[in-house]
Chain A
Amino acid sequence: MADANLGSFGRYAGPATLILSSLADGPKHGYALTKDIEEFAGLRLAPGTMYEALTRLEGQGMIKSLPAQDRRKPYELTAAGAAALQAHLDDQRRVAEVGLRRLKAAGGTA
């Protein structure tokens, strides 16, 4: 599903972006994802929310599971997931740049 995007994720777009960003540097299982996201984003995804987003990402073909290690199952980013993440982050960057530029023009500290 190469044309899938995170816009269809609704309220799961936030957790989905965090999960895809975490997987961008290599496969991780659930707990490793939680710790990594906590480290780079400063927030902890609750386990139920994490797996709701994971099941949707897997259903959309943006991530895929790898063979289980013990009972833990790592996930890795697919090409479709990488493309969706790239597009989503580009959109966010554009919005952030506009916001920062306007704050600066208004005499803000940005």
Chain B
Amino acid sequence: MSPEARAERLLRWYPAMWRDRYGAEFAELLIAEIEEQPRSWRRTADVARSGLVARLSLAGLGNGPVRDERSALGATATLVAGFAMLATSLWTQLATGARVMPLDSHAAVVGLVVLTASLAYLGVIAILAVAPVAAVLARDIRRRGPHGVIAPLTVIAVSLTALAMGGRHLATHWTVLASHGSGTSHIPDGIASFAWAETYSISTAWAHPTLLLSINPARLGWMVVSPLALISALTAAWVLVRHLDLPAATLRYESALARAAVFGMLPMLLAGAWWVMTSQHNPAATYRAGTLDLALVLVMTGAAAAALHSTRALRSA
């Protein structure tokens, strides 16, 4: 392989916007380096690391100067979606538990109320965010035909269908909600059990092989398929948005919604952390959060911090 071809291959570690600005001159440096020293794993590792840093910076997750508003929006949306998934996992424990036995602490009650309200808030924001993008997509298809959007749309449709059908199937075969206890809950059974099914993969069983192997094969399959379907849907949505020529006004609107979504993460984090931390130190608590819940709160904190950083990039974009 020629030095030019190898330099071109190394350049692929960097995002297109970075390559547009620095690609030609950086390729010249790489070619000169490769001619002087044909093989160097240190150089390859350095370029790979630097390229990934450039990609993170582009999405507002680093401090590099080359940034892209759409990448920052995509990163924020992904972080909020991941955060919401983990928060839903906490919420389902309280929502389904309240049905079986009364919530026995202020932290658990506040946790359920705040998480319910905040998840509904994020749901409304998601609808408001998707609506104008769908309108631009429909206009684009009318003007230019479906070229370039069929594949991502198909992946989104298949992934969401799998999530909906699989979640519904698992939820209707869950026996816990069928046995009414002494508790009461204002959360409809269908919603609570569906949310439980969608977050079934968030489990300590992954850390305990014996427990993992004792799970029903269909449920084990769902634990693998459901996160993959969610990742596929998010990735395809990102490909779709990159394909669209979103007007500046739409980008400003989406940026405002992204900031509003990140704002909504804070009460969820505080309420979730309060319940998890207080119940950890109360052996008598009926709804005692486990180590997994503590890990969820830590990951949620990281996701919220990263999302906040990303929205700072939106303001300066």
Contacts and interface: CB of A to CB of B under 8 A. Distances in A.
Main secondary structure of the interface of B (DSSP, over half): helix
- How extensive is the interface on chain B, given as a class? 20 to 34
A30 B43 contact: no
Interface stretch (B28-36, B88-96, B140-148, B216-224): B28-36
Nearest to A54: B22
Interface string A47-60: 11111101110111
A68 B25 contact: yes
Given A30-B28, A71-B28, A49 B65 contact: no
Interface residues of A, number: 22
A49 B45 CA distance: 11
A10 to B, nearest CB: 8
B304 interface: no
A68 B22 CA distance: 11
Interface in A38-95: 46-52, 54-56, 58-60, 68, 70-73
A52 B64 contact: yes
B65 A71 contact: no
Interface in B93-123: none
B208 interface: no
A49 B50 contact: yes
Interface string B9-30: 0000000001000101111111
Given A31-B32, A52-B64, A72 B25 contact: yes
B33 A56 contact: no
B42 interface: yes
B231 to A, nearest CB: 28
A34 to B, nearest CB: 7
A48 B24 contact: no
Contact of B46 (A47, A60, A72): A47
Contact of B33 (A47, A55, A70): A47
Given A31-B32, A31-B33, A52-B53, A47 B25 contact: no
Contacts of B42: 46
Contact of A30 (B26, B50, B66): B26
B47 interface: yes
Interface string B49-68: 11101100000000111100
Nearest to B53: A52
Contacts of B46: 46-49
Given A52-B64, A58-B65, A59-B65, A47 B24 contact: no
Given A30-B25, A71-B24, A72-B25, A47 B30 contact: yes
A58 to B, nearest CB: 7
B65 A48 contact: no
A54 B21 CA distance: 12
Contact of A47 (B29, B54, B63): B29
B287 to A, nearest CB: 43
Interface of A: 29-31, 34, 46-52, 54-56, 58-60, 68, 70-73
22 contacts: A29-B29, A31-B28, A34-B33, A46-B43, A46-B46, A47-B29, A47-B33, A48-B48, A51-B26, A51-B50, A52-B50, A52-B64, A54-B22, A55-B22, A56-B64, A56-B65, A59-B65, A60-B65, A71-B27, A72-B25, A73-B24, A73-B25
Given A46-B42, A73-B24, 15 more contacts: A29-B25, A29-B28, A31-B28, A31-B29, A47-B46, A48-B50, A51-B22, A51-B50, A52-B54, A59-B64, A59-B65, A68-B24, A68-B25, A70-B28, A71-B25
